[in-house]
Protein backbone atom coordinates (compact mmCIF):
# COMPACT_ATOMS: atom_id res chain seq x y z
CA UNK A 1 0.00 0.00 0.00
CA UNK A 2 1.29 3.44 -0.91
CA UNK A 3 2.32 5.69 1.96
CA UNK A 4 -0.43 8.07 3.03
CA UNK A 5 0.19 11.78 2.68
CA UNK A 6 0.50 13.34 6.13
CA UNK A 7 -1.53 16.50 6.81
CA UNK A 8 -1.04 18.14 10.20
CA UNK A 9 -2.81 20.79 12.22
CA UNK A 10 -2.18 22.76 15.42
CA UNK A 11 -5.02 23.32 17.92
CA UNK A 12 -7.86 23.38 15.38
CA UNK A 13 -8.60 21.83 11.99
CA UNK A 14 -12.26 22.75 11.50
CA UNK A 15 -15.31 20.52 11.78
CA UNK A 16 -15.38 16.67 11.86
CA UNK A 17 -16.47 16.42 8.19
CA UNK A 18 -12.96 17.67 7.29
CA UNK A 19 -11.23 14.66 8.83
CA UNK A 20 -13.78 12.23 7.41
CA UNK A 21 -13.64 13.69 3.89
CA UNK A 22 -9.85 13.91 3.91
CA UNK A 23 -9.21 10.36 5.09
CA UNK A 24 -12.09 8.56 3.34
CA UNK A 25 -10.24 7.92 0.04
CA UNK A 26 -7.39 6.30 1.97
CA UNK A 27 -4.64 8.48 0.50
CA UNK A 28 -4.12 10.94 3.37
CA UNK A 29 -4.10 11.01 7.16
CA UNK A 30 -4.66 13.89 9.57
CA UNK A 31 -2.19 14.34 12.44
CA UNK A 32 -2.38 16.62 15.43
CA UNK A 33 0.74 18.57 16.31
CA UNK A 34 0.65 19.23 20.03
CA UNK A 35 2.78 22.31 20.86
CA UNK A 36 3.42 20.72 24.27
CA UNK A 37 4.83 17.51 22.80
CA UNK A 38 8.52 16.69 22.82
CA UNK A 39 10.79 18.36 20.30
CA UNK A 40 11.43 14.97 18.71
CA UNK A 41 7.71 14.27 18.19
CA UNK A 42 7.12 17.73 16.76
CA UNK A 43 10.10 17.55 14.41
CA UNK A 44 8.98 14.15 13.12
CA UNK A 45 5.61 15.54 12.07
CA UNK A 46 7.06 18.71 10.57
CA UNK A 47 9.78 16.84 8.70
CA UNK A 48 7.40 14.39 7.02
CA UNK A 49 4.18 16.35 6.48
CA UNK A 50 3.14 17.37 2.97
CA UNK A 51 0.18 19.52 4.07
CA UNK A 52 -0.76 21.93 6.83
CA UNK A 53 -4.40 22.67 7.72
CA UNK A 54 -4.05 25.98 9.56
CA UNK A 55 -6.52 28.10 11.47
CA UNK A 56 -7.36 31.47 9.95
CA UNK A 57 -7.22 33.19 13.35
CA UNK A 58 -3.83 34.47 14.46
CA UNK A 59 -4.78 33.99 18.11
CA UNK A 60 -5.50 30.29 17.50
CA UNK A 61 -1.93 29.57 16.39
CA UNK A 62 1.27 30.02 18.42
CA UNK A 63 3.63 32.36 16.55
CA UNK A 64 6.16 29.62 15.85
CA UNK A 65 3.51 27.57 14.01
CA UNK A 66 2.29 30.25 11.65
CA UNK A 67 3.11 29.42 8.06
CA UNK A 68 6.12 31.69 7.59
CA UNK A 69 9.68 31.28 6.40
CA UNK A 70 10.84 29.91 9.77
CA UNK A 71 8.26 27.14 9.76
CA UNK A 72 8.85 26.35 6.09
CA UNK A 73 12.51 25.77 6.90
CA UNK A 74 11.39 23.03 9.31
CA UNK A 75 8.99 21.38 6.82
CA UNK A 76 11.07 20.26 3.83
CA UNK A 77 8.31 18.03 2.38
CA UNK A 78 5.51 20.58 2.72
CA UNK A 79 3.58 21.12 -0.52
CA UNK A 80 0.45 22.93 0.61
CA UNK A 81 -1.04 25.13 3.31
CA UNK A 82 -4.83 25.18 3.63
CA UNK A 83 -6.60 27.70 5.83
CA UNK A 84 -9.70 26.67 7.77
CA UNK A 85 -11.61 29.77 6.64
CA UNK A 86 -11.46 32.54 4.08
CA UNK A 87 -8.85 34.52 5.99
CA UNK A 88 -5.14 33.80 5.71
CA UNK A 89 -3.62 36.15 8.27
CA UNK A 90 -1.69 33.17 9.67
CA UNK A 91 0.12 32.55 6.38
CA UNK A 92 3.04 34.38 4.78
CA UNK A 93 1.91 33.85 1.20
CA UNK A 94 5.07 35.36 -0.30
CA UNK A 95 7.29 33.01 1.70
CA UNK A 96 5.20 30.04 0.64
CA UNK A 97 5.39 31.09 -3.00
CA UNK A 98 9.16 31.36 -2.82
CA UNK A 99 9.31 27.87 -1.28
CA UNK A 100 7.03 26.33 -3.92
CA UNK A 101 4.23 25.72 -1.39
CA UNK A 102 0.64 26.21 -2.54
CA UNK A 103 -1.70 28.24 -0.33
CA UNK A 104 -5.47 27.74 -0.51
CA UNK A 105 -8.33 29.19 1.51
CA UNK A 106 -12.06 28.62 1.81
CA UNK A 107 -13.23 31.86 0.20
CA UNK A 108 -15.57 30.18 -2.22
CA UNK A 109 -18.62 31.34 -0.32
CA UNK A 110 -19.00 28.56 2.26
CA UNK A 111 -19.70 31.06 5.02
CA UNK A 112 -20.90 33.96 2.88
CA UNK A 113 -24.57 33.49 3.74
CA UNK A 114 -23.78 33.33 7.46
CA UNK A 115 -21.68 36.51 7.38
CA UNK A 116 -24.26 38.35 5.28
CA UNK A 117 -27.05 37.37 7.70
CA UNK A 118 -24.96 38.42 10.69
CA UNK A 119 -24.23 41.79 9.08
CA UNK A 120 -27.91 42.36 8.36
CA UNK A 121 -28.77 41.31 11.90
CA UNK A 122 -26.39 43.93 13.26
CA UNK A 123 -27.93 46.58 11.02
CA UNK A 124 -31.43 45.81 12.26
CA UNK A 125 -30.43 45.49 15.92
CA UNK A 126 -28.59 48.80 15.92
CA UNK A 127 -31.37 50.67 14.14
CA UNK A 128 -33.89 49.47 16.74
CA UNK A 129 -31.58 49.96 19.76
CA UNK A 130 -31.87 46.30 20.70
CA UNK A 131 -28.49 46.07 22.49
CA UNK A 132 -29.25 49.06 24.70
CA UNK A 133 -32.80 47.89 25.46
CA UNK A 134 -31.62 44.39 26.34
CA UNK A 135 -28.93 45.64 28.73
CA UNK A 136 -31.14 48.24 30.37
CA UNK A 137 -34.06 45.86 30.93
CA UNK A 138 -31.76 43.70 33.04
CA UNK A 139 -30.72 46.50 35.39
CA UNK A 140 -33.19 49.41 35.31
CA UNK A 141 -36.67 49.01 36.84
CA UNK A 142 -39.67 50.72 35.28
CA UNK A 143 -37.76 51.96 32.27
CA UNK A 144 -39.60 53.89 29.57
CA UNK A 145 -39.98 52.11 26.25
CA UNK A 146 -40.12 55.49 24.50
CA UNK A 147 -36.41 55.93 25.18
CA UNK A 148 -35.66 53.21 22.63
CA UNK A 149 -37.57 54.49 19.63
CA UNK A 150 -35.61 53.37 16.59
CA UNK A 151 -35.78 53.72 12.83
CA UNK A 152 -36.95 51.56 9.98
CA UNK A 153 -34.18 50.15 7.83
CA UNK A 154 -36.46 49.91 4.79
CA UNK A 155 -35.58 52.34 1.97
CA UNK A 156 -32.34 53.42 3.67
CA UNK A 157 -28.93 53.38 1.93
CA UNK A 158 -26.25 50.81 2.73
CA UNK A 159 -22.66 51.23 1.55
CA UNK A 160 -20.69 48.03 1.04
CA UNK A 161 -16.90 48.17 1.10
CA UNK A 162 -16.03 45.14 -1.00
CA UNK A 163 -18.33 43.17 -3.29
CA UNK A 164 -17.31 39.54 -3.13
CA UNK A 165 -19.41 36.59 -2.00
CA UNK A 166 -20.50 38.29 1.24
CA UNK A 167 -21.18 41.68 -0.34
CA UNK A 168 -23.29 40.21 -3.11
CA UNK A 169 -25.41 38.16 -0.70
CA UNK A 170 -25.87 41.06 1.70
CA UNK A 171 -26.88 43.31 -1.19
CA UNK A 172 -29.54 40.83 -2.26
CA UNK A 173 -30.93 40.57 1.29
CA UNK A 174 -31.08 44.37 1.57
CA UNK A 175 -32.67 44.91 -1.83
CA UNK A 176 -35.20 42.08 -1.80
CA UNK A 177 -36.11 42.24 1.86
CA UNK A 178 -35.90 45.94 2.66
CA UNK A 179 -35.94 47.79 -0.68
CA UNK A 180 -32.68 49.50 0.25
CA UNK A 181 -30.39 51.41 -2.06
CA UNK A 182 -27.00 49.68 -2.19
CA UNK A 183 -23.77 51.52 -2.93
CA UNK A 184 -20.55 49.60 -3.56
CA UNK A 185 -16.89 50.50 -3.43
CA UNK A 186 -13.96 48.11 -3.81
CA UNK A 187 -10.28 48.98 -3.45
CA UNK A 188 -9.54 46.69 -6.41
CA UNK A 189 -11.66 48.82 -8.73
CA UNK A 190 -15.20 48.72 -10.05
CA UNK A 191 -16.39 45.11 -10.56
CA UNK A 192 -18.16 44.23 -13.79
CA UNK A 193 -21.90 43.65 -13.89
CA UNK A 194 -22.93 45.76 -10.92
CA UNK A 195 -26.19 46.75 -12.59
CA UNK A 196 -27.18 43.08 -12.80
CA UNK A 197 -27.02 42.93 -9.01
CA UNK A 198 -29.13 46.06 -8.62
CA UNK A 199 -26.35 48.05 -6.94
CA UNK A 200 -24.50 51.25 -7.79
CA UNK A 201 -20.79 52.00 -7.80
CA UNK A 202 -19.71 54.91 -5.62
CA UNK A 203 -16.39 56.59 -4.99
CA UNK A 204 -15.15 55.96 -1.47
CA UNK A 205 -15.84 59.46 -0.15
CA UNK A 206 -19.32 59.46 -1.69
CA UNK A 207 -20.17 56.12 -0.13
CA UNK A 208 -19.03 57.27 3.31
CA UNK A 209 -20.95 60.52 3.22
CA UNK A 210 -24.15 59.03 1.76
CA UNK A 211 -24.73 55.67 3.42
CA UNK A 212 -26.93 55.15 6.47
CA UNK A 213 -25.02 51.93 7.09
CA UNK A 214 -21.36 51.39 6.14
CA UNK A 215 -20.54 47.68 6.09
CA UNK A 216 -17.05 46.25 5.59
CA UNK A 217 -17.20 43.16 3.35
CA UNK A 218 -13.61 43.01 2.05
CA UNK A 219 -10.56 40.94 2.92
CA UNK A 220 -7.69 42.28 4.98
CA UNK A 221 -4.89 43.12 2.54
CA UNK A 222 -2.17 45.74 2.37
CA UNK A 223 -4.65 47.89 0.42
CA UNK A 224 -7.37 47.60 3.07
CA UNK A 225 -5.31 47.61 6.26
CA UNK A 226 -6.21 50.75 8.26
CA UNK A 227 -8.56 51.72 5.44
CA UNK A 228 -11.01 53.36 7.82
CA UNK A 229 -9.65 55.79 10.38
CA UNK A 230 -10.50 59.15 11.90
CA UNK A 231 -10.97 60.97 8.58
CA UNK A 232 -13.28 58.29 7.22
CA UNK A 233 -15.42 58.16 10.37
CA UNK A 234 -15.66 61.95 10.31
CA UNK A 235 -16.91 61.79 6.71
CA UNK A 236 -19.88 59.57 7.64
CA UNK A 237 -23.28 60.91 8.58
CA UNK A 238 -23.83 61.45 12.29
CA UNK A 239 -26.87 59.19 11.99
CA UNK A 240 -24.89 56.41 10.29
CA UNK A 241 -23.94 53.01 11.68
CA UNK A 242 -20.58 51.34 11.02
CA UNK A 243 -20.37 47.53 10.81
CA UNK A 244 -17.33 45.30 10.36
CA UNK A 245 -17.80 41.54 10.09
CA UNK A 246 -14.77 41.07 7.81
CA UNK A 247 -11.41 41.38 9.57
CA UNK A 248 -9.85 43.35 12.38
CA UNK A 249 -7.25 45.85 11.24
CA UNK A 250 -9.39 47.27 8.44
CA UNK A 251 -10.73 49.93 10.77
CA UNK A 252 -8.87 51.80 13.51
CA UNK A 253 -10.41 50.85 16.86
CA UNK A 254 -9.15 54.00 18.62
CA UNK A 255 -10.53 56.21 15.86
CA UNK A 256 -13.89 54.44 16.08
CA UNK A 257 -14.00 55.02 19.84
CA UNK A 258 -13.22 58.70 19.40
CA UNK A 259 -15.86 59.06 16.69
CA UNK A 260 -18.50 57.49 18.92
CA UNK A 261 -17.48 59.63 21.89
CA UNK A 262 -17.73 62.74 19.73
CA UNK A 263 -21.16 61.78 18.42
CA UNK A 264 -19.91 61.46 14.85
CA UNK A 265 -21.70 58.11 14.47
CA UNK A 266 -24.96 56.67 15.76
CA UNK A 267 -23.37 53.35 16.64
CA UNK A 268 -21.29 50.41 15.49
CA UNK A 269 -21.53 46.64 15.12
CA UNK A 270 -18.14 44.96 15.50
CA UNK A 271 -17.50 41.23 15.07
CA UNK A 272 -13.74 41.39 14.38
CA UNK A 273 -11.01 42.85 16.56
CA UNK A 274 -7.32 43.70 16.60
CA UNK A 275 -6.91 41.23 19.46
CA UNK A 276 -9.36 38.35 19.56
CA UNK A 277 -11.09 37.95 21.81
CA UNK A 278 -10.79 41.56 22.99
CA UNK A 279 -10.22 42.07 26.72
CA UNK A 280 -13.36 42.61 28.77
CA UNK A 281 -12.23 46.12 29.66
CA UNK A 282 -11.85 47.14 26.00
CA UNK A 283 -13.24 50.71 25.73
CA UNK A 284 -15.59 49.81 22.88
CA UNK A 285 -17.15 47.08 25.01
CA UNK A 286 -18.12 49.65 27.61
CA UNK A 287 -20.36 51.58 25.22
CA UNK A 288 -24.10 51.02 24.82
CA UNK A 289 -23.96 52.14 21.18
CA UNK A 290 -21.64 49.27 20.23
CA UNK A 291 -23.02 45.83 19.39
CA UNK A 292 -20.10 43.43 19.91
CA UNK A 293 -19.67 39.78 18.95
CA UNK A 294 -16.51 37.61 19.16
CA UNK A 295 -15.79 36.88 15.48
CA UNK A 296 -18.79 34.60 15.01
CA UNK A 297 -20.34 36.06 11.86
CA UNK A 298 -19.32 33.05 9.78
CA UNK A 299 -19.72 30.52 12.59
CA UNK A 300 -22.82 28.51 11.80
CA UNK A 301 -23.24 24.75 11.65
CA UNK A 302 -23.95 24.90 7.93
CA UNK A 303 -21.10 27.21 6.96
CA UNK A 304 -18.49 25.34 8.98
CA UNK A 305 -19.50 21.99 7.55
CA UNK A 306 -19.34 23.36 4.01
CA UNK A 307 -15.95 24.95 4.63
CA UNK A 308 -14.60 21.74 6.18
CA UNK A 309 -15.67 19.58 3.25
CA UNK A 310 -14.39 22.17 0.77
CA UNK A 311 -11.01 22.29 2.50
CA UNK A 312 -10.65 18.52 2.38
CA UNK A 313 -11.62 18.42 -1.28
CA UNK A 314 -9.01 21.04 -2.16
CA UNK A 315 -6.26 19.15 -0.38
CA UNK A 316 -7.20 15.91 -2.13
CA UNK A 317 -7.26 17.79 -5.44
CA UNK A 318 -3.70 18.97 -4.87
CA UNK A 319 -2.55 15.52 -3.81
CA UNK A 320 -3.89 14.20 -7.12
CA UNK A 321 -1.71 16.73 -8.89
CA UNK A 322 -4.58 18.96 -10.00
CA UNK A 323 -4.93 22.72 -9.65
CA UNK A 324 -7.24 23.64 -6.73
CA UNK A 325 -10.12 26.09 -7.21
CA UNK A 326 -9.13 28.58 -4.49
CA UNK A 327 -5.40 28.94 -5.07
CA UNK A 328 -4.01 32.13 -3.54
CA UNK A 329 -0.52 32.00 -5.06
CA UNK A 330 -0.62 30.68 -8.64
CA UNK A 331 2.96 31.94 -9.12
CA UNK A 332 4.07 29.05 -6.91
CA UNK A 333 2.81 26.46 -9.40
CA UNK A 334 6.04 25.90 -11.41
CA UNK A 335 8.15 25.35 -8.31
CA UNK A 336 5.38 23.26 -6.77
CA UNK A 337 5.27 21.06 -9.87
CA UNK A 338 8.95 20.22 -9.58
CA UNK A 339 8.65 19.49 -5.87
CA UNK A 340 5.51 17.40 -6.41
CA UNK A 341 7.29 15.29 -9.01
CA UNK A 342 10.24 14.76 -6.69
CA UNK A 343 8.02 13.81 -3.77
CA UNK A 344 5.55 11.49 -5.50
CA UNK A 345 7.59 10.34 -8.49
CA UNK A 346 4.97 11.43 -11.00
CA UNK A 347 3.96 14.57 -12.83
CA UNK A 348 0.83 16.67 -12.43
CA UNK A 349 -2.52 16.03 -14.02
CA UNK A 350 -3.12 18.27 -17.04
CA UNK A 351 -6.39 19.82 -18.12
* Same structural domain, 283 and 144: yes
pLDDT of residue 350: 52
Instruction: Assess if residue 28 is contained within a domain.
Output: yes
* Same structural domain, 183 and 100: no
List phi, psi (to 5°) of 136. Answer: -70, -35
% of the chain exceeding 90 in pLDDT: 85
* Same structural domain, 96 and 159: no
* Same structural domain, 305 and 280: no
Q: Give yes or no: 251 in active site.
A: no
pLDDT of residue 280: 97
pLDDT of residue 57: 79
State the chain's mean pLDDT as an integer. Answer: 94
Instruction: Assess if residue 174 is contained within a domain.
Output: yes
Q: Give yes or no: 295 in active site.
A: yes
pLDDT of residue 68: 97
pLDDT of residue 347: 63
| Catalytic residue (choose from 168, 247, 304, 326) | 247
pLDDT in tens, 305-347: 998 999 999 999 999 999 999 999 999 999 999 999 999 877 6
pLDDT in tens, 218-247: 988 889 999 999 999 999 999 999 999 999
Q: Give yes or no: 238 in active site.
A: no
pLDDT in tens, 273-290: 999 899 999 999 999 999
| Catalytic residue (choose from 276, 305, 322, 337) | 276
CATH number, domain at 46? 3.40.50.720
* Same structural domain, 10 and 156: no
Q: What is the extent of the structural domain holding 165?
A: 112-292
% of the chain exceeding 70 in pLDDT: 97
Instruction: Assess if residue 193 is contained within a domain.
Output: yes
pLDDT in tens, 48-92: 999 999 998 787 889 999 999 999 999 999 999 999 988 888 999
Instruction: Assess if residue 349 is contained within a domain.
Output: no
Q: Give the pTM.
A: 0.81
| Catalytic residue (choose from 287, 295, 304, 339) | 295
Amino acid sequence: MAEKARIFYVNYYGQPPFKHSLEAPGTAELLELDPQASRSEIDTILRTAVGYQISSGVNDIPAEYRADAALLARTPELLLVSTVGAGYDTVDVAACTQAGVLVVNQAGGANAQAVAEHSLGMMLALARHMPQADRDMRRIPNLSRHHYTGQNTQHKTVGLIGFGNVGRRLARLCIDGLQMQVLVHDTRGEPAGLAEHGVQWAEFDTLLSTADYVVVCCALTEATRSLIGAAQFAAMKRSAYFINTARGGIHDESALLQALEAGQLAGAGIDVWDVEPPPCDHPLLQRHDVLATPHIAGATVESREQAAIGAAEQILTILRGERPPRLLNPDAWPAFEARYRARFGRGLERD
